[in-house]
């Protein structure tokens, strides 16, 4: 007997209305873009790095030359060759100059588990404790629990503060992000020489995170259980939701300068980073470029993009092909549930392209799929007209929007000093993309591996695909 779909319940209708209301609140969370306080930075002191290998080399060079401080914030520092290389460099810097302040901040939960789909393990924390036992306590590694469980939110802050420089990327530290062996995961990489910006990012790590009762050392075998930290975690989340990076108001951007506003974001309400992302999209008049690794847009972003396309603003979205997704499982390997995610994201993209097929045909909407051999794609951020750019670790998906602790650097470039760097960066990225001319240019569900087909059909039948999109 054929089943019929029931109309949405009152609860579902109410929740949808609340989501629309919350989306409208984002625009009021922070002042207008041109009124945001910023840190003036000489444009010549900003360098866009070309590739993961350059990112790794620059990081190691900065660490080796550090005289004052090395503060690192990243989702994880992996127990692999790249992770051990970075940790060894930190210990070497401490031995060479004991007065250098060193601290690493990673997600508490992620550090204490193995990789998804792999055998259970004690996680990266075992490496931290082992190196501390062998080499001494000079490189403290702190676990930051944003929520009681990893599924409900992680510490996704990015940024390497080394003396008066900021090395910013959405990349974490492992073999693939740092192109330690044959494969790489592409992100964006920027080196910014600015003492005030470095001080601003450092302040959150040293003044807010490090002294908090919920933030505990991971480089020791005697760690408290997460359950014992539950009350402290709730308090930390409230503190972080109300925190911001210190910046002085009233700064003017000189002719050879850009203005940089560091942004912090946590939760769906009054989130400054989310608000700026929506405002950036809404402010675009000529050209908008969006980078996202997973095509799973939050509602406010989707609606703002829909409106820009309707206004005939030129919109370019660069996303990874499903085979360039870090969850993609090749056909010759055993399939697991997590391997359905790239297909779910591709189905989202197919629907988006179908909805805006006229704009694609007219050249107003350019959808680019990145694919380069067996490498993967993890770019994030926005470029708006020729005067705004956002560097961020946020994946611009519902999870980043609602659950994770995120940050970003908003660059205001009224004198177009970084225009050439942006052009070169885009050309380099697009060199490995293909433009999607039609929604039928993407594989249909009938071509997917049978386990992925069954799972996606079951999710769609129960409407659980919407829930999955919200948490992954």
Q: How far apart are CA 470 and CA 472, in angstroms?
A: 6
Residue 380 in contact with residue 291, Cβ under 8 Å?
yes
Q: How far apart are CA 358 and CA 220, in angstroms?
A: 58
HSE-up (13 A, CA, CB side) for residue 315? 27
Distances (CA, A) of 41 to 55, 111, 221: 21, 35, 42
Q: Name the active-site residue from 26, 109, 368, 378.
A: 378
Q: How far apart are CA 73 and CA 339, in angstroms?
A: 28
Q: How far apart are CA 72 and CA 160, in angstroms?
A: 5
Rounded to the nearest 10°, the torsion over CA 229, 237, 106, 149 is 60
Torsions phi, psi for 67 (to 5 deg)? -115, -15
Q: Name the active-site residue from 79, 212, 406, 465.
A: 406
Distances (CA, A) of 141 to 101, 129, 219, 441: 12, 9, 6, 46
Full DSSP string of 21-40: HHHHHHTTSS--GGGS--EE
Q: Is 420 a catalytic residue?
A: no
Q: Name the active-site residue from 80, 107, 109, 156.
A: 156
Q: Is 187 a catalytic residue?
A: yes
Q: Is 230 a catalytic residue?
A: no
**Residues classed as catalytic:** 156, 187, 378, 406
């Amino acid at each position: 007997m054929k089943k019929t779909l029931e109309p949405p319940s009152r609860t579902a209708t109410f929740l949808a209305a609340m989501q629309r209301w919350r989306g409208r609140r984002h625009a009021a969370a922070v002042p207008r873009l041109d009124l945001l306080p910023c840190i003036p930075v000489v444009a010549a002191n900003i360098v866009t790095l070309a590739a993961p290998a350059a990112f790794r080399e620059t990081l190691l060079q900065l660490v080796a030359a550090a005289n004052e401080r090395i503060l690192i914030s990243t989702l994880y520092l992996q127990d692999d060759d790249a992770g051990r290389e970075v940790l060894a460099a930190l210990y070497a810097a401490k031995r060479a100059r004991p007065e250098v302040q060193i601290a690493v901040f990673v997600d508490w939960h992620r550090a204490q588990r193995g990789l998804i789909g792999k055998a259970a393990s004690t996680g990266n924390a075992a490496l931290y404790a082992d190196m501390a036992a062998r080499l001494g306590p000079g490189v403290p590694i702190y676990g930051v629990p944003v929520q009681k469980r990893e599924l409900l939110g992680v510490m996704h802050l990015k940024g390497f503060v080394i003396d008066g420089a900021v090395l910013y990327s959405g990349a974490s530290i492992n073999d693939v992000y740092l192109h330690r062996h044959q494969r790489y995961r592409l992100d964006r990489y920027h080196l910014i020489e600015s003492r005030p910006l470095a001080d601003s990012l450092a302040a959150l790590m040293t003044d807010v995170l490090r002294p908090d009762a919920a933030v505990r050392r991971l480089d020791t075998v005697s760690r408290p259980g997460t359950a014992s930290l539950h009350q402290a975690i709730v308090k930390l989340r409230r503190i972080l939701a109300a925190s911001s990076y210190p910046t002085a108001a009233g700064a003017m951007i000189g002719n050879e300068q850009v203005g940089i506003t560091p942004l912090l974001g946590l939760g769906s309400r009054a989130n400054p980073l989310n608000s700026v992302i929506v405002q950036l999209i809404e402010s675009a008049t000529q050209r908008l470029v969006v980078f996202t690794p997973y095509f799973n847009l939050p509602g406010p972003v989707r609606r703002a993009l829909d409106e820009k396309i309707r206004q005939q603003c030129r919109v370019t979205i660069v996303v990874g092909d499903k085979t360039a997704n870090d969850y993609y499982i090749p056909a010759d390997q055993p399939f697991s549930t997590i391997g359905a995610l790239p297909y779910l994201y591709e189905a989202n993209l197919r629907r988006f392209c179908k909805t805006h097929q006229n704009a694609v045909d007219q050249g107003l909407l350019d959808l680019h799929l990145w694919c380069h051999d067996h490498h993967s794609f993890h770019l994030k951020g926005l470029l708006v007209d020729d005067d705004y750019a956002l560097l961020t670790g946020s994946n611009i998906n519902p999870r980043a929007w609602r659950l994770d602790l995120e940050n970003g650097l908003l660059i205001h470039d009224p004198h177009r000093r970084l225009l050439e760097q942006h052009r070169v960066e885009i050309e380099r990225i697009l060199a490995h993309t293909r433009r999607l001319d039609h929604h039928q240019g993407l594989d249909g569900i009938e071509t997917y591996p049978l386990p992925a087909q069954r799972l996606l059909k079951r999710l769609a039948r129960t409407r659980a695909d919407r829930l999955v999109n919200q948490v992954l």
